[in-house]
Structure 1
């Protein structure tokens, strides 16, 4: 009986093996019959010549130019009057150059301050992203140490320099007269404090400046100070480092904090070692750092990213305002940007304080189109650049020239195009050279070509359909010795709205690849050259 059972089992095993072998043989036979078409990478390479910016806009005949002087700018002369016709390039008005220089200094400081805040916030975000969250139970067990108190030493002077700057310190130029017409305490002639090389400024000084509690006066209202470090601790020594500040560039801080003048970073007090109840390996966080649960950490990162986006926008605004000021700072003259009629001229001695324009020029001839530019493309699009416009109704193509780009982003949220929906967009006006066939109110598709021969790349850019992803890694199906092989590659930038992808390593133009989808997209399948697209 046992022999019969053993015989039956052996027969089943042999039969199963035969079936398995047959199935494997059939699959192997079928795979050998498959042939994958391959093409050379050089023929599939798109290349890269830069991108274009696309949006939509409406034809209008009411283009206008508005001039908004700042409160500290003095208008020296107005060359036009209401109702007067002007041509592009005609002088409209002139600022007092000295007042423009003051505004220029203020804007430069604003840009510097914006860059500093952006750098600090970036570091804070990096620190958050490197933080390891803890569980709810662990968080409740961790004892957060208090910041140890720091006692300030006595305020002393070494030559002309203080050992640190506090509200009791005095500027070394307090008795100086106005310079070049600029009042002491203004952006062009700030109060100057001298500090030793290893010195610092206290939080109490910063708060006193922000709150207007320092015993200093300024004709401009906003007090500007410069904290300096000079060789030999002498006011006549060579400048080693400085920190320019005013209430408009600072925020309040803790009274007992100290800030390094060279790095503009807070100095951390020496920390006493406090051991938490939970062992360090359980939390993987330093006991002196803030402890987050996963939910708290995710929220903190999101909040910091939002703050970073706002600061980046503030920086871009400041840079645009600085650029506008620099363009007119040479002679102070503001020129007409469009052909039109002067619709409004204000009183130079009584500038508007309600946000309205001092001077307005309204377009009198021709047609304009209003479009939008992504903040990511602002450095590539300039006044005078050409826009290609296509009518939705007739399909006719027109050429327009950008005459004006807004300084501030458009808050209407009416952008329609192929750009990043999370970016801010700036409106621009473009003058249509020959508007024959267009009517006011007609909609157009707008394209700004930002390509540049200098941007041309000799790298490999493939259509994204030829590149697949597996476990976070990218690969192509490469021809190697007549059969397909999965070749992992390193990728770079995404182009053309996601249609193309850069290959930075793992593939050369001498290689050939197959379309990585379908039954022939398997390793080991034989290959043959193809003359056409493979899908």
Structure 2
């Protein structure tokens, strides 16, 4: 009876699990199996053709004659305005001079920082050379010394100081205990107490050989321990830094400040004196020190390269601080600095004859345009085409621009002025089309692929779209874009071809791996 009951329970459990699996399959798997295909369109069907013709340029206007606008440098003081309104000027005449004292101070500061960096690089190079000479070693066996000195030696080591006994018995001035210490070590009162013989005789003689942090010797200090038997001695109350008040002069003599002369004998150490007894490093420790020092050196060199570049930029920013006239004409206006609005010219030089066109150039093309560059000017008023040359380009951006063609309207734009080569009578203020002849593309536009902007999505600094792969599955494809076709479509430089099939990249079914089907109707209906 119990066996039948258990068998019945097992059957019910298995059936319940099967039903649960079927429910899960119906909820999650079946919809995926019957996912609605995403319609894709041949790129050849949706592509748009480039409107053709030179397009790199802007819209501008005709102004009254050739003129030169002088815009003040932001944050730079003007020392002298050398002309007055109504003064005639020739090309090359000085119009104003800037006070570059602050800028020159900035240049000197940068130069000082460069010198500091160069010294740091030199020092780091020297430290790296020392590290490269290190060999793996182990500490020597502890010297035979009186127990009280060994105790004090351990105390120094506990404080993190490199402190080694080299030789000697400490029994006479000719055979002192010789200690090697680094310049940063402060000898504690307990050390002087130990060699003084108070309260436990005898006293000892000691010589402290002092080394720089790079283990180059500096000076030695010979001490008679008996001189510290006076319990009021400064050494017994404060301790003594082995380098404080000790200076090695250029003539190799020693100068002592803040230390009584009876503290012992000081002299310079020869460069050949070794830091015997240490330090001791394993191979791994030496390799780690070398790598860290090489990384430090590489960082300093990169910093030096950047600061040298900053120096050149700072030097070129304002030149000699003198602004010259670029045209023959008359100073037509000079405004007060107090009343000057942002982006407004401080001074204007007006020529007596000729016309000029004003336009803007985008930040991305600033490096491609230059004074004297030839441009093409199409007049909307009379339909005539003229040539001209760029006279000046401002360093100050304008709040808006009449960009055109393949220029991107969201860029920053800078105003420029250009001459117009014509003797025709033109109307001041008429609109013109200005084309940069040297910037216009010469490639075969018929082979270029332009697709509507609606098919392109942005992710961070990249663009992508969705296409059908060889298995008729939806694939996320990153693309490289090129020119803009009047803001309606964008050139695809790489990522898709004319033979691909592309999907409209919006909708709930747009997921990688979704099945695709070629649309029968046009996307536009």
Interval containing the TM-score (normalised by the shorter chain): 0.3 to 0.5
Task: Pick the structure with greater CA Rg.
Answer: 2
TM normalised by structure 2 equals: 0.40
TM normalised by structure 1 equals: 0.39
